Structure 1
Amino acid sequence: MGGKVEFLSDFLTKFGAQLQSPTLGFLIGGMVIAALGSKLEIPDAIYKFIVFMLLIKVGLSGGIAIRNSNIVEMLLPALFAVVTGMLIVFIGRYTLAKLPGIRTVDALATAGLFGAVSGSTLAAGITVLEAQEIYYEPWAGALYPFMDIPALVTAIVVASIYTSKKRATEDKDLSKQENLSKQPVAAGEYASKPEYPTTRQEYRSQQRITASGYPRKQAKRVKIWPIVKESLEGSALSALLLGLALGLLTQPESVYEDFYNLLFRGLLSILMLVMGMEAWSRIGELRKVAQWYALYALVAPLLHGFIAFGLGMIAHYATGFSPGGVALLAVIAASSSDISGPPTLRAGIPSANPSAYIGASTAVGTPVAIAVGIPLFIGLAEVLIGN
C-alpha cells in the first residue's frame, strides 16, 4: 500500500512540475486573453515561419542523430508508430462512428486527423523534455511521418470503401423500388423499350444503366500514392523531412547550434500563444456539430497516448528505448494534425464536414494533448522507467 501511495505522490509531483513549464504557460495565457476579448493578433505569415523554423530544427536534430546512430534501434519504435496511426483510425471507426448523430465519413475524417501528428505538439514535447533535462533519442522526432502518413491513408481508404458499399446498397434499394413500381403492359401493347438486349453491345450498355435510367456511378479505386504524395508535400512534413535530409547528408552542426537551437524555445513560446488564442476561437465551431465530438476530443488524445506509451514500454524493454523516447512517442500519438492533415482530408474525404474534425482537433484535442498529455506522459515515464 505504501508503495502505491509513494508512486502516486511521485507522479503527481512530477505532473505538477510539468504544468508549470513556460511552454504550457504560454498556451494557457493565449486562451485566457482570447477569452477576455483581446484584439492581439499574430500575422499568419509569422505563424507559418515559426512552424517552419521549429520543424526544421527537429528535422536537423533527427538527421544528425540518425547519421551517428544505429538504424536498427529505430525499427521497433517506427513499427509501433505505424501500428498506432492505423489503430487510431479503426478505434474511431468503431467508437465515434457508432454514436448517435455522427456520420461515418465525419468520424473517419476525425479519427484520421487524430491519428496524424501535430508538428507544434511534437516541438512542444521536445522542448519540455529538454527543459527538464530528460534524455530522448534525437531521432525520435523522425517518428512523425511513420504515424502521420499511415493514419491519413487508412482513414481515406476506409472512408472510400464505406462510401462505395453504401452507394452499392442504395443502388440496390433503388432498383427494388423501381421494379415494384413498374406497371404491367396491357394485352396487345408493347413496351416502348425492349426489356431484353438483342446484341452484346446493347447488353453492356444496359448493365451501365441503373433502374432509374441514369448511368451507374462506378466505384473509384483508391490510389495510395496520391494520398502519400499530398501528405509529403504538406508544409509541416516537408519542413521536417527537409531538416532530416540536411542533417543526414550534410554537416549542419554549426548552424544548428548557433542559430536553430538558440531560437527554438523563444519561437515555441510564441507558437503556443497563437495556438492558445486559436483554440479558444475554435470552440464555437463545435456548436455546429454533435456534442459527441467534444467528448471524443477530450478522451481520444489520452487514450491514443496510453496505447503508444504501452507500445513504447515494450520497445524500452526490448531495445532500450529511452524514457524520453517513450514519452515522446505517446505525445505524438496524443496529438492531432493542425497543418498538413486538414487539407489532405479535405481532398481525400470531400464529403466529410471540416467543422467536425477541425473543430474537434483544434478547439479541444490540441489543448488536451499539450496541456495534459505532455506532462502526463513525461511524468509517467519518469516514474515508471526513470532517467
Structure 2
Amino acid sequence: MNNLLDPAILFFGVGVLAGTVKSNLEIPPAISRFLSLYLLMALGLKGGFALSHSGLTASVGTSLGAAVLLAICIPWAGYWMLKRFVSGFDAAAVAATYGSVSAVTFVTAVQYLENQQIAYGGHMAAAMALMESPAIIMAVVFANALRQKAATGVVTVGGGVAALGGPAGKPTVSVGKILHESFTDGAQLLLLGAMVVGLITGDSGKQAMQPFSGDLFKGMLAFFLLDMGLMAARNLPQVKDKSPVLIAYAVLGPVVHASAALGLSWLLALPAGDGALLMVLAASASYIAVPAVLRFALPEANPSLYFGLSLGVTFPLNILVGIPIYVSLAHAVLV
C-alpha cells in the first residue's frame, strides 16, 4: 500500500486514467526522450558513486554473473515454451522482450529501496546493462534458424506444421550487426559512461552532482511515469484479442522469472537489496530497446503482440504491485 501512495506511482496512475478516458494530455516525444536519458544518467552516477565505496569485489562479480545467467536462460525457456502456441517469429520476439529488461522498472525499484532504506549495490546498474542484449541476440539467432528452415519448405510448430509468415530465402540478419547496435546504443553507453564518471569522481563528484542526480531524481521519475501511464493505457487495447496463453504469460511469466532470480540469489547468498533488484530485472520486460531492434531484425513478428503485452500488461503490474512484492520476498528470504 505504501508503494501506491508514492507520488511517482500516483502520477503513473494519473497517466493511466488520462489515457483510459482518451484525454488530450500528452508528453512531447523529445521531452520523454530527455527524461529517459536523465534517469539513466542519474542512475549510472548513483551506481558509480556506490561502487567507489565498495570497489569491484567478488560479491559484485557474483551478482553480475547471476544477471547474465538469467538473461540467457529466461529468453531460451520462453522461446521453447511459446513456440508451441504461436509462430516461431512471434515466440522469438516475445521471448526476447521478456528476456530483456525495463530500465524504468529498475529505476522505480531503486527509488522504492531508497524509500524503504534498504541497501543495494551500485553495480546492479551494470547488471541491468548486461541483461539487455543477450535476449536480442538469441532472438536473432532463432529467427535466422527459422528462415533457414523456411527456405527448405515448412517448419514444425508445436505438434503440427505451419508457415513462418515470411518469404522463403529471406536474408538472415547479421548477429555481428545486432551486437554492434546493442553495445553502441546511446542510452546504454550513457548509463555505463555515467557509472565510470561516478566511480572515478567518488565523494567529491557525488557532492557536486547532488542537485542533479539526487534532488531532481524523484520529480523527474514522477514526470516520466506519468508519460509511461499514458502509453500503457493507450497500448492496453492491443492485447484485448490476444490468446489467453499470451495474456497468462505476460502476467505469470514475470512471477516465474522473479522466483528463479530469488532462488539464484539465495544459492549465491546475495544481499537482500541486490537480490530484490535482480528479481525486478528478471521480472521486467523491455518496451523501448528490444521493440526498436525487433522491428528491424524480426519484421515477420507482430509488433502489437510483444509491445502490447510488455507495456500494456507487464509494466503496470510490476510498477503497481510487483516491486513491493519482490522486495518483501527478497527481504524475507535473503536477510
Q: So what's the TM-score if we normalise by structure 2? A: 0.88
For the 8 Å contact 1:235–1:340, the answer to whether it is kept is: no
For the 8 Å contact 1:338–1:362, the answer to whether it is kept is: yes
Q: Tell me which residue corresponds to 1:212.
A: none
2:4 equivalent to 1:24: no
Question: Compared with structure 1, are the counterparts of its residues 296 and 235 closer, same or farther at alpha carbon in structure 2 (3 Å cutoff)?
Answer: farther
Q: Tell me which residue corresponds to 2:125.
A: 141
What are the within-5 Å matches in structure 2 for residues 93-108 of structure 1? 93-99=79-85, 102-108=86-92
**Partner amino acid for 2:183?**
L
Q: How far apart in 1 are the matches of 2:113 and 2:300?
A: 40
CA RMSD of aligned residues (A): 2.1
What are the within-5 Å matches in structure 2 for residues 300-339 of structure 1? 300-315=253-268, 317=269, 321-339=270-288
What are the within-5 Å matches in structure 2 for residues 59-78 of structure 1? 59-68=44-53, 69-78=55-64
Dislocated runs of 4+, deviation >6 Å = none
For the 8 Å contact 1:19–1:375, the answer to whether it is kept is: no
Per-residue CA deviations over 1:112-143 (Å, capped at 9, x if unaligned) read 01111111111100001001111111221210
State the Cα distance separating 1:50 from its structure 2 match.
Answer: 1.0
Residue segments in structure 1 that go unaligned for 5+ positions in a row: 1-15, 172-215
For the 8 Å contact 2:42–2:212, the answer to whether it is kept is: no
Residue segments in structure 2 that go unaligned for 5+ positions in a row: 156-167
State the Cα distance separating 1:277 from its structure 2 match.
Answer: 1.4
SS at match of 1:280: helix
2:121 equivalent to 1:125: no
SS at match of 2:285: coil
Q: How far apart in 2 are the matches of 1:271 and 1:127?
A: 13
**Partner amino acid for 1:94?**
W
2:212 equivalent to 1:259: yes
Q: Tell me which residue corresponds to 1:92.
A: 78
**Partner amino acid for 1:241?**
L
SS at match of 1:95: helix
For the 8 Å contact 1:231–1:341, the answer to whether it is kept is: no
Larger radius of gyration: 1
SS at match of 1:137: coil
For the 8 Å contact 1:346–1:354, the answer to whether it is kept is: yes
SS at match of 1:17: coil
Q: How far apart in 2 are the matches of 1:285 and 1:114?
A: 17
SS at match of 1:98: coil
State the Cα distance separating 1:153 from its structure 2 match.
Answer: 1.0
State the Cα distance separating 1:363 from its structure 2 match.
Answer: 0.6
Question: Compared with structure 1, are the counterparts of its residues 94 and 232 closer, same or farther at alpha carbon in structure 2 (3 Å cutoff)?
Answer: same
Per-residue CA deviations over 1:2-53 (Å, capped at 9, x if unaligned) read xxxxxxxxxxxxxx33343333222223212322332211111111111111
2:332 equivalent to 1:378: no
Q: Tell me which residue corresponds to 2:289.
A: 340
State the Cα distance separating 1:257 from its structure 2 match.
Answer: 1.6
What are the within-5 Å matches in structure 2 for residues 1-387 of structure 1? 16-68=1-53, 69-99=55-85, 102-170=86-154, 217=169, 220=172, 223-250=174-201, 252-287=205-240, 289-315=242-268, 317=269, 321-386=270-335
State the Cα distance separating 1:289 from its structure 2 match.
Answer: 4.4
Q: How far apart in 1 are the matches of 2:141 and 2:236?
A: 29
Q: How far apart in 1 are the matches of 2:109 and 2:324?
A: 9
For the 8 Å contact 2:46–2:213, the answer to whether it is kept is: no
Per-residue CA deviations over 1:179-238 (Å, capped at 9, x if unaligned) read xxxxxxxxxxxxxxxxxxxxxxxxxxxxxxxxxxxxx94874x64332122122334323
Number of residue-to-residue matches in the alignment: 320
Per-residue CA deviations over 1:260-316 (Å, capped at 9, x if unaligned) read 11111111111111111110100122246444332221111222111112212222x
**Partner amino acid for 2:18?**
I
**Partner amino acid for 1:273?**
L
Q: How far apart in 1 are the matches of 2:169 and 2:277?
A: 45
Q: How far apart in 1 are the matches of 2:134 and 2:243?
A: 27
Question: Compared with structure 1, are the counterparts of its residues 285 and 235 closer, same or farther at alpha carbon in structure 2 (3 Å cutoff)?
Answer: farther
Q: Tell me which residue corresponds to 2:165.
A: none
Q: How far apart in 2 are the matches of 1:257 and 1:29?
A: 28
